[in-house]
Amino acid sequence: MKCREAAEHASALLDHDLDLTLRARLRLHLAACAPCRRFAEQVRATRDLLRGAPAPAPDPGREDAVVAALLRGKPEPDDGP
């Protein structure tokens, strides 16, 4: 496995979302490659940090804008994020 492929699968490894063969290949790569191990640890730390963060409060007018846009047949409201 090359480093690019390892980076692409780092998050899936943490989420236990890889088949046995790919998981084994990735673990072997991480055992031999310090930069990829550090990257995988950064992914884990970022995920853990984000999971611990409070969810942002919803914008009270946003729900009305989304409903109005859906009723007009548009995928998103016109007023931006």
80 located within any domain: no
Token reading at 53: 């963060």
**Number of domains forming the structure of the chain:** 1
pLDDT tens track for 7-43: 999 999 988 899 999 999 999 999 999 999 999 999 9
66 located within any domain: no
Rg over alpha carbons for the chain, rounded to the nearest Å, is: 20
Minimal CA–CA distance to 11: which of 34, 38, 40? 40
pLDDT tens track for 3-14: 999 999 999 998
pLDDT tens track for 53-70: 888 887 878 888 888 888
21 located within any domain: yes
5 located within any domain: yes
33 located within any domain: yes
40 located within any domain: yes
CA angle, 23 as apex, 17 and 29 as ends, to 5°? 135
In which domain, by residue range, is 4 found? 1-52
pTM score, two decimals?
A: 0.62
Amino acid at 40: A
